[in-house]
Amino acid sequence: MFSLFKKKVECELIKDFKNLDFQKNVLSISKDDFFLENFKYEFLDFEDSNLDKSIFSIYKNILKSYDKLLFESSNINCDLFVISCGFLGREFLKTSSIIVEDVNLNGVHILFEILNGDGYFLIQDKNNKYNLKLIKVKKGSKVLISKNMIFTIINSSENENLVCLSIKSNSFDYKFKVLDKDFGSVLYFTRNGFIRNQNYLPNYHLEEFEGNYLLDYSFNLMKTIYEEFVDIPEKFNFLKK
């Protein structure tokens, strides 16, 4: 019993989510901060807001020091998304619209796990922007974004940051503000619930889910995705295709 508990503690990356107090021996290669000025047109109310307002951050290549060689040899990397809590005007805070692609615009899968907080993944088909999936998530939820899907992560809390761990191929990178010309995704999440972006027609198709959204892939729900990758790295080879 003690050994199982010890293993669990050793695999955790963060001790305190309020101030992001990382566990000993956790490495983060770099951190990117995104402010309102970076993607203001994707928000419903941005005209009178402070452009220096911090909206979300990404800690890139975050891992335990003794797992570094495993991640590098597998060509897989682990990132941490932190979406601030609160509002911008009527709307809850969120990431910009994001897709993961290579230089030739080939899409790839990306796997997320919620480490802290509550929120939504709003997923939009790159090839048909009127096809939407809305996944309500909480701590422990796992979400697999499939190829050629644009996603926006929404923090539905007024007072708690939403923290998500992602695993993807190191050969692919994030492309931000994909829906900037459309003023964001089809839906905005506000104090009064979801409302439609008036730049889209009202005839969109929406599917709603809650909790784990893993498509046809099987993961051990008793382990974190970080733990499962360390135990069975070859199981994640599909992320490279």
Query: Which of 3-17, 93-107, 217-231 is predicted with the least confidence, judged by mean pLDDT?
Result: 3-17
Q: Give me the pLDDT at residue 104, please.
A: 72
Q: Which of 81-95, 132-146, 210-224 has the lowest mean pLDDT?
A: 210-224
Output the pLDDT for position 127: 93
pLDDT at 3: 41
pLDDT in tens, 161-187: 999 999 999 989 999 999 999 999 999
pLDDT of residue 107: 78
Model confidence at 233: pLDDT above 80: yes
Q: What's the CATH fold of domain 2-240?
A: Jelly Rolls (2.60.120)
Query: In sequence order, what E strands does the chain have?
Result: 14-16, 21-22, 26-35, 54-64, 76-83, 87-88, 91-92, 98-101, 110-116, 119-125, 128-137, 142-145, 149-155, 162-169, 173-176, 187-190, 193-196, 205-210
- What pTM was estimated for this model as a whole? 0.93
What pLDDT band is residue 11 in, cutting at 50, 70 and 90? low
Kindly tell me if the per-residue pLDDT of 48 is higher than 80: no
Residue-range domain boundaries for the chain: 2-240
